[in-house]
Amino acid sequence: MAERPNILVIMTDQQSSTMLSCAGNRHVSTPAMDSLAAEGVRFDRAYCTNPVCVPSRFSLMTGLMPSAIGMLSNSLARVAIPESVKRNGLGFLMRQAGYDPAYAGKVHLPRMSAKDVGFEQICADERERLADACAEFIRGRRSEPFFLIASFINPHDICYMAIRDFVRTDTERWLTEHGAVECATLDAALARPGGLDDAAFFAEHCPPIPLNFEAQQDEPEAIRIMLEQRPFRINARREWPANRWREHRWAYARLTEIVDGQIGRVLGALRQSGQAERTVVVFTSDHGDMDASHRMEHKSALYDEVCRIPLIVRPPGGMTGRVDRTSLISNGLDLVPTLCDWAGIAPPPALPGKSLRPLVDDVVRQEWRRSVPVECAIGRAIITDRFKYAVYDLGSSREQLIDLASDPWEQRNALHDPEHSHALVELRHAFRTTFGSTPRDPAHVLQAAADA
């Protein structure tokens, strides 16, 4: 058996796939994340299983879709988590491979702790102390290879911007009153360089509004219904002027740079310890943020801003970095099989994911998957090389078809375009094959939307 490598998984919270300078975003600087891309494979078409924290993180730790336990959003699963799911959690799998799994930072799993899926949690902090704890762990002396998950909170603090601007419910008031650290970090991110006035700041520094700033043509009614379940979201869409949205984009970039600096300290410790040559590093996020696209912030929709996430795999010793722009990846389904592959053990049977190691090693000898599934509180979608087809569970206009080749900004619903009629038939069949034909309970969906 080949020598097992160290395994380091680095996670951020609420980071879109475009929030990397190596992805061409000139409004953010991410040298630490870029350094991984320079020595690994950046998967440009990687998606989460559900664009909200708890269900996405459940998938990352189990390799299962959140619907496997009846979970649509951050609300608890309908039933207790089966012991068989917990015992096949990522930490326990790595224990079988001879690792001593350690978890540091944000957990946020449904009715489970890190310990419940096989980890020892070595640090509960999600910010600066987390970076220090991970660096100390990496530098520690040990006889066996290590397995460490470093789970950082930012750029998630961007959530507080709209909540704070529209404090009109008890829940929103509680969030702002108990989010002193988050709000202070957000305020630092909102600060302008050198005390610039509005004219200079917006002309020379602040990111512009995105090309898809306006709501999608023929937008499914479920989107509006979802936004109305949490009033600050619909109020931001209706009331924020363009420059407030631009400030949101400015702060989101600064929060991403904060977490990049923390990640840089962890990677620095890895290099200084002399273990980078025998360590596989995976970097990803649980979901993204709408960040002004379609006049939305937060997450939980089926648009790419929140469903597409960064995913970089750097093999032991590194490689000449490259970008995979075609393979459809699910970080929540594929992480477990990938890490089992590097650890030298078989993943649990019947998991739907695939190991990414053949793609990293560039030795794929069979067709990769043709579609990837995504669920959210109000609907479900399948994504192919060209199309995104979604079915929503509330309101009117429940079907949505996006031609990602001609409309990458998802500005119009192409459902009724005659040239896509044949593709639509195939996509409907693929949707039923993936998710079944039973509709979801509208009452449960509406409850989940209020927690999205």
| In the chain, where the domains are located | 6-157+251-370, 373-449
CA distances in angstroms from 102 to 126, 149, 164, listed in the order given: 15, 6, 35
DSSP 308: B
CA pair distance 410, 414, nearest whole angstrom? 9
CA nearest 240: which of 319, 298, 174? 298
Once rounded to an integer, what is the mean pLDDT over residues 200-221? Answer: 96
CA pair distance 155, 255, nearest whole angstrom? 5
Upstream peptide bond of 358 is cis (omega within 30 degrees of 0): no
Once rounded to an integer, what is the mean pLDDT over residues 348-361? Answer: 96
CATH superfamily of 6-157+251-370: Alkaline Phosphatase, subunit A (3.40.720.10)
Q: Are 65 and 312 in contact (CB under 8 A)?
A: no
Question: Residue 326: is it exposed, middle or buried by C-beta count within 10 angstroms (0-12/13-18/19+)?
Answer: exposed
CATH fold, domain 373-449, is Arylsulfatase, C-terminal domain (3.30.1120)
The sign one gets for the Cα dihedral 39, 43, 44, 46 is: negative
DSSP 112: B
pLDDT at 8 over 60: yes
CA nearest 279: which of 142, 408, 417, 108? 142
CA nearest 390: which of 419, 431, 341? 431
Which pLDDT band holds residue 178 (cuts at 50, 70, 90)? confident
pLDDT at 304 over 70: yes
Tokens of 325: 């722009």
CA nearest 409: which of 222, 218, 211, 237? 211
Which pLDDT band holds residue 79 (cuts at 50, 70, 90)? low
Q: Which of 92-96, 174-178, 278-282, 316-320 has the lowest mean pLDDT?
A: 174-178
- The predicted-structure confidence for 252-303, as pLDDT tens digits, reads as follows 999 999 999 999 999 999 999 999 999 999 999 999 999 999 999 999 999 9
Q: Which of 56-65, 135-144, 337-346 has the lowest mean pLDDT?
A: 135-144
Residue 280 backbone phi and psi in degrees, to 5: -90, 130
pTM: 0.96
How many helices (H) and strands (E) in the chain? Answer: 17, 14
Tokens of 4: 């097992």
Q: Are 357 and 340 in contact (CB under 8 A)?
A: no
The sign one gets for the Cα dihedral 248, 253, 258, 262 is: positive
Tokens of 248: 């949101």
Q: Which residues pair with residue 374 across a beta bridge?
A: 381
Residue 151 backbone phi and psi in degrees, to 5: -115, 105
Number of neighbouring beta carbons within 10 Å of residue 340: 23
Q: Are 46 and 52 in contact (CB under 8 A)?
A: no
Q: What percent of the chain has pLDDT over 70?
A: 98
DSSP 328: -
Strands 6-12 vs 279-285: parallel, antiparallel or unpaired: parallel
Res 1: pLDDT = 43
Which pLDDT band holds residue 80 (cuts at 50, 70, 90)? confident
